[in-house]
Amino acid sequence: MRASHLPTFQGFGLGLRTPHYKDFLTATVPVDFVEIISENFMVQGGRPLATLDQIRERHPVAMHGVSMSIGSADGLRLDYLRGLKALADRVRPLWVSDHLCWTGIDGLNSHDLLPMPYTEEALNRVCANVLHAQDVLERPLLIENPSSYLTFADDTLTEWDFLEEMCRRTGCFLLLDVNNIYVSGMNHGFDPLTYIASIPADRVRQIHLAGHTHGRAGLLIDTHDQPVPDPVWALYEAARRRLGPVATMIERDDNIPPLGDLLAELDMARTLSMEAAAA
Amino acid sequence: MNLADMQRDFYAWLTDGALTVEPQVPEPARRGLAVYHNALRANLIDCLSDSYERTHAWLGDAAFDTAARGHIENHPSRSWTLGDYGAGFAETLAGLYPADPEVAELAWLDWTLRRAFDGPDSPELDTASFAEIDWEDALLRIAPTMSVRRLTTNAAAIWSALASGSEPPAPLRLDRPAAVVVWRQEFSPRFLTVSDSERHALGLAMAGLPFGDICSELRDDFPDDEAATVFVGAMLARWLAEGVIVGVETNRI
């Protein structure tokens, strides 16, 4: 299915993480939406799904996955797509997203977001997989730009050109991870502002903000275990100026602080967003 | 190289225990490859540690890490979800610790409780209609998360002590194996050591025998009818109260 339309949603949200379930269930948390890791709720029953049902009554939910493997050369797993569809039918999410990456092949899984070569062959495969996923899910996908730690010698496209062409051919949308642009830019030597200036702005439906760490080998690592750093905030301002209002969230997956700390970061995003709008 | 071959080569390299890189690969890519190589193991070790929390505590960090790394080298993940990855780790531990059977039995408890945590839900039990039930022909629907096995050690006591933060008992082999049942009551995974008669009854119920036939089968376990009736009555009441029975199918009187 070539997707055509997905309503915009403008607001500020957080990734829903287990240490904060109680906060979300017992208090009014000032967020416009929450994002779940889809796979955490692709289970048969028990407390996770019951908790999600309760939080869904209070907040719009975006579904974000890590297991679709949209770049796998041997196609997508139908059992995964059907499970994701069942969860989406239950949650009625704002949208469903995953990453531009591959996680495995031939039925084997690394459970990591592995890098894609940016070639015409890879583009053809990704587009075929996106169309297949959109057929099964009966909704458009958002694809997130990844962090990566290597590039391939036979790359013929930039990442932003790859994403633009993928959107054009499949009608899918983008989840722009500003931290990932910064991490990959520093790791591979491209200017993050060039990336921001080159992406198809009309396809971006969500922004991720996160922190990273400096790895031992001189690479930046997308760890999501730190507050959003200043260079990523600066890049967010640039993205916000280019894109206009876009749903924005703080993505924290490790070293998770009290909810108040993340809400303070979200207030920072609100402030910068307002300043960008006024500029 | 086409995309499929690249991905097969990359995956094979990732899962090869040795971090060897062809000499012609340039330095920036070598550093990147090391990140992916390390991340795969770190993810899977974290996954095993999360699923086998008490087993990890019992073995200690070094022994658990060694066991996990060995398991990872021989057991590639074949599921889309990390949640499935721990299946079979108890068997790996049984092979590593043949003289310490409590290790694999602890692991079985960890894994089975984890599976029960987000296993299938059950409909709410309709107790209002129980007065009209012909129990002789009644079929008991057992919780879909139910697992039953015999343990040869005091692994259940060790697990409970580790979970409560108290000093675990020394491992010991039981005089005779004890049946342990694992299930989820509402949202809480539970386990319980039960008698052989109760294990027998549970197995018959799960096999679909009517309640009357289960009672007949149990009769020989007791010295007289009254003792058998008292046992069955108490067992049925507890099964109902603790969510072991999640439904009763019967012809109404």
Q: Give the global pTM.
A: 0.94
Whether residues B149 and B48 share a domain: the answer is no
CB contact under 8 A, B36 and A112: yes
Considering the domain boundaries, does residue B107 fall inside one? Answer: no
- Within 46-75 of B, beta carbons closer than 8 Å to A belong to 47
Whether residues B36 and B147 share a domain: the answer is no
Summarised one tens digit per residue, pLDDT across range B221-241 is 898 889 989 999 999 999 999
Helix-, strand-, coil-residue percentages of chain B, each rounded to 5: 55, 15, 25
- In this prediction, residues B97-124 reach a mean pLDDT of 96
CB contact under 8 A, B32 and A218: no
- In this prediction, residues A156-180 reach a mean pLDDT of 97
Q: Which chain B residues are closer than 8 Å to A86 by Cβ? A: none
Q: Which chain B residues are closer than 8 Å to A150 by Cβ? A: 28-29, 31-33, 36
Spatial distance between the Cα atoms of A79 and A84, rounded to a whole number of angstroms? 9
pLDDT of residue B23 exceeding 70, the answer is no
pLDDT of residue A61 exceeding 80, the answer is yes
Whether residues B130 and B94 share a domain: the answer is no
How high does pLDDT run on average in chain B?
Answer: 92
Summarised one tens digit per residue, pLDDT across range B148-182 is 999 999 999 999 999 999 999 999 999 999 999 99
Task: Quote the percentage of chain B above a pLDDT of 90.
Answer: 78
Whether residues B145 and B240 share a domain: the answer is yes
The pLDDT confidence band at residue B183, using thresholds 50, 70 and 90, is: very high
- Tell which residue, B142, B113, B155, B145, has the closest CA to residue B201: B142
Considering the domain boundaries, does residue A17 fall inside one? Answer: yes
Considering the domain boundaries, does residue B26 fall inside one? Answer: yes
The pLDDT confidence band at residue A279, using thresholds 50, 70 and 90, is: confident
Residue A247's DSSP bridge partners are: A206
Whether residues B90 and B193 share a domain: the answer is no
C-alpha pair distances (Å), B151 with each of B157, B185, B194: 11, 22, 11
Considering the domain boundaries, does residue B43 fall inside one? Answer: yes
Whether residues B126 and B89 share a domain: the answer is no
C-alpha pair distances (Å), B173 with each of B145, B155, B177, B184: 27, 9, 8, 27
Whether residues B135 and B199 share a domain: the answer is yes
- Interface contact B185, partner A, CB < 8 A: no
- Tell which residue, A260, A179, A166, A268, has the closest CA to residue A220: A179
Spatial distance between the Cα atoms of B33 and B252, rounded to a whole number of angstroms? 67
CB contact under 8 A, A80 and B80: yes
CB of A31 closer than 8 Å to CB of A14: yes
Considering the domain boundaries, does residue A113 fall inside one? Answer: yes
Whether residues B52 and B141 share a domain: the answer is no
CB of A146 closer than 8 Å to CB of A195: no
Task: Quote the percentage of chain B above a pLDDT of 70.
Answer: 95
Range of the domain at B49: 1-99
Burial status of residue A278 (CB atoms within 10 A of its CB: 0-12, 13-18, 19 or more): exposed
- In this prediction, residues B58-69 reach a mean pLDDT of 98
- Tell which residue, B5, B70, B63, has the closest CA to residue B41: B70
CB of A63 closer than 8 Å to CB of A97: yes
Place of tokens 């991905």: B7
Considering the domain boundaries, does residue B92 fall inside one? Answer: yes
Q: Which chain A residues are closer than 8 Å to B79 by Cβ? A: 109
Summarised one tens digit per residue, pLDDT across range A5-53 is 898 899 999 999 999 999 999 999 999 999 999 999 999 999 999 999 9
Note the pLDDT of residue B24: 63
Spatial distance between the Cα atoms of A251 and A253, rounded to a whole number of angstroms? 7
Note the pLDDT of residue A72: 98
Please tell me the total number of residues recorded for chain B in this structure.
253
Whether residues B81 and B194 share a domain: the answer is no
Range of the domain at A223: 12-278
Considering the domain boundaries, does residue A5 fall inside one? Answer: no
The pLDDT confidence band at residue B22, using thresholds 50, 70 and 90, is: low
**Which ipTM value was assigned to this complex?**
0.94
CB contact under 8 A, A46 and B79: no
Whether residues B243 and B138 share a domain: the answer is yes
Q: Which chain A residues are closer than 8 Å to B29 by Cβ? A: 150-151
Number of domains in chain B: 2
Note the pLDDT of residue A190: 96
Whether residues B165 and B227 share a domain: the answer is yes
CB contact under 8 A, A122 and B28: no
Note the pLDDT of residue B127: 81
Number of domains in chain A: 1
Considering the domain boundaries, does residue A189 fall inside one? Answer: yes
The pLDDT confidence band at residue B18, using thresholds 50, 70 and 90, is: low
Considering the domain boundaries, does residue A1 fall inside one? Answer: no
Spatial distance between the Cα atoms of A142 and A100, rounded to a whole number of angstroms? 10
- Tell which residue, A188, A147, A117, has the closest CA to residue B28: A188
Q: What is the CATH number of the domain that holds A210?
A: 3.20.20.150
Q: Which chain A residues are closer than 8 Å to B7 by Cβ? A: 72-73, 102, 105, 114
Please provide residue A218's backbone torsions phi and psi, each rounded to the nearest 5 degrees: 90, 0
Q: What is the CATH number of the domain that holds B213?
A: 3.90.930.50
Whether residues B128 and B186 share a domain: the answer is yes
> Which of B67, B99, B131 finishes a domain?
B99
